[in-house]
């Protein structure tokens, strides 16, 4: 009876999550066709728009009420809208409440799968915890992946802008031409800079906001160099060529370090994943063998083992992390 109830709840949650995700990603595709950036509005912006009557609830019925409830929970737990900003940086076209629903549905599905495999309710409770960690890591990984793609495109973009400046174009026009040639994420971010400048913001201030949004140290250096050049004078094209060569050489050094430390990172992942894999295997093949670990001193040993595995993995990753 309990298994059937959990399966029914998981199915309902997954269907609701699929409906939310499908609607949001379809809207992101339309925005892309219209050359709009698929930025998810913050909860404060959504509330203000609904109060003015500009937009209404995007979902009706149970899904709409669930989304509103999830948005309210996120607003209370995260008053600084950190999750909304992270979703914007990762370019995940979901509201924070919608992302919370998707993560909860994934945790429920994982708990159902673990319960079906092991037949143990305490073991199934690990599913929501894993889903919460994975959902947080997914956003962070998307942000890091997008940041690395931007860093890889930046040297060529600076060279293109410098060449346009040498040909006689203005700085803003050079950036606009570079956006037409480059691909995302660099074209998206610099396109936003061009749009802000056309609305009246100073170009350097827009670049500085972009650097703060992306948190790319190379872009911080470029913005500071441009600001100093505008203060003391000099040839901007020559400066951008120099910065492009420097960033390119530093990127090559960074990739070489990643290659040399790849073995250490892989060792950390394998050693950390081996323990839960063997534990699940023993639980499936012989549940009575690990049953003493679910109570008394066995539970303490189990928790201590999990903490030691996590601590060991982070220690190894910390040792092989070299800042370039």
pLDDT for the residue numbered 294:
78
Residue 310 maps to a domain: yes
Same domain, 85 and 8: yes
Whether residues 102 and 191 share a domain: the answer is: no
Q: Number of structural domains, the chain?
A: 3
In this structure, is residue 288 part of a structural domain?
yes
Residue 134 lies in a domain: no
Whole-model pTM: value is 0.65
Residues 31 and 107 in one domain: yes
Write the burial class of residue 168 (CB in 10 Å: 0-12 exposed, 13-18 middle, 19+ buried).
Answer: exposed
Q: Does residue 207 lie in a domain region?
A: yes
Residues 83 and 162 in one domain: no
pLDDT for residue 11:
54
State whether 165 and 231 are in the same domain.
Answer: yes
Q: Are residues 271 and 234 in the same domain?
A: no
Last residue of a domain, one of 218, 248, 278: 248
Question: What is the chain's pLDDT, residue by residue, as a tens digit (324 residues)?
Answer: 444 444 545 554 554 555 454 444 444 443 443 344 444 444 445 444 444 444 444 445 566 676 777 777 777 777 777 787 888 878 888 878 788 888 888 888 888 887 887 776 766 777 788 888 888 888 888 888 888 889 889 999 999 999 999 888 888 889 989 888 888 888 888 988 989 898 888 888 888 888 888 888 888 889 999 989 888 878 888 999 999 999 999 888 888 988 889 988 999 999 888 988 888 888 888 888 888 887 778 888 888 888 999 899 889 988 888 876
For residues 91 and 253, the answer to whether their CB atoms sit within 8 Å is no
| Cis upstream peptide for 185 (omega within 30°) | yes
Q: What is the dihedral of CA 127, 133, 139, 141, to 10 degrees?
A: -110
CB atoms within 10 A of CB 108: 22
Does residue 170 sit in the same domain as residue 94? no
156 and 237 in a single domain? The answer is yes
Is there a single domain that holds both residue 152 and residue 175? yes
Determine the straight-line distance between the first and last CA of the chain, rounded to whole angstroms. Answer: 56
296, part of any domain: yes
Tell me, yes or no, whether 102 and 18 share the same domain.
yes
Inside any domain, residue 199: yes
Work out whether the CA dihedral 185, 186, 187, 189 comes out positive or negative: positive
CA angle 300, 303, 307 (to 5 degrees): 135
User: 215: domain range?
Assistant: 148-248
Q: What is the CATH number of the domain that holds 194?
A: 1.20.81.30
- pLDDT of amino acid 61: 59
């Amino acid at each position: 009876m309990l298994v059937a109830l959990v399966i029914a709840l998981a199915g309902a949650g997954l269907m609701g999550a699929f409906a939310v995700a499908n609607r949001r990603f379809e809207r992101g595709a339309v925005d892309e066709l219209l050359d709009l950036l698929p930025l998810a509005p913050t909860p404060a912006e959504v509330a203000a728009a609904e109060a003015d009557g500009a937009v209404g609830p995007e979902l009706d019925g149970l899904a709409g009420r669930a989304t509103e409830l999830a948005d309210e929970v996120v607003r209370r737990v995260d008053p600084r809208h950190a999750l909304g900003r992270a979703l914007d940086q990762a370019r995940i076209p979901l509201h924070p409440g919608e992302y919370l629903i998707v993560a909860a549905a994934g945790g429920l599905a994982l708990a159902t799968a673990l319960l079906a495999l092991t037949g143990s309710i305490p073991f199934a409770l690990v599913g929501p915890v894993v889903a919460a960690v994975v959902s947080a890591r997914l956003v962070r990984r998307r942000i890091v992946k997008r940041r690395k793609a931007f860093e890889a495109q930046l040297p060529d973009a600076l060279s293109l802008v410098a060449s346009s400046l040498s040909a006689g174009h203005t700085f803003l026009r050079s950036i606009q031409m570079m956006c037409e040639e480059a691909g995302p994420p660099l074209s998206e971010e610099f396109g936003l800079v061009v749009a802000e400048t056309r609305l009246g913001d100073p170009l350097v201030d827009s670049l500085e906001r972009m650097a703060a949004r992306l948190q790319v140290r190379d872009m911080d250096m470029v913005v500071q160099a441009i600001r100093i050049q505008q203060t003391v004078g000099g040839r901007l094209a020559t400066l951008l060529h120099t910065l492009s060569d420097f960033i390119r050489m530093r990127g090559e050094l960074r990739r070489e370090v990643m290659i040399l430390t790849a073995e250490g990172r892989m060792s950390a992942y394998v050693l950390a994943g081996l323990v839960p894999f063997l534990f699940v295997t023993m639980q499936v093949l012989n549940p009575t063998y690990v049953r003493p670990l679910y109570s008394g001193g066995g539970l303490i040993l189990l928790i201590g083992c999990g903490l030691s595995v996590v601590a060991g993995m982070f220690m190894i990753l910390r040792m092989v992390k070299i800042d370039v």
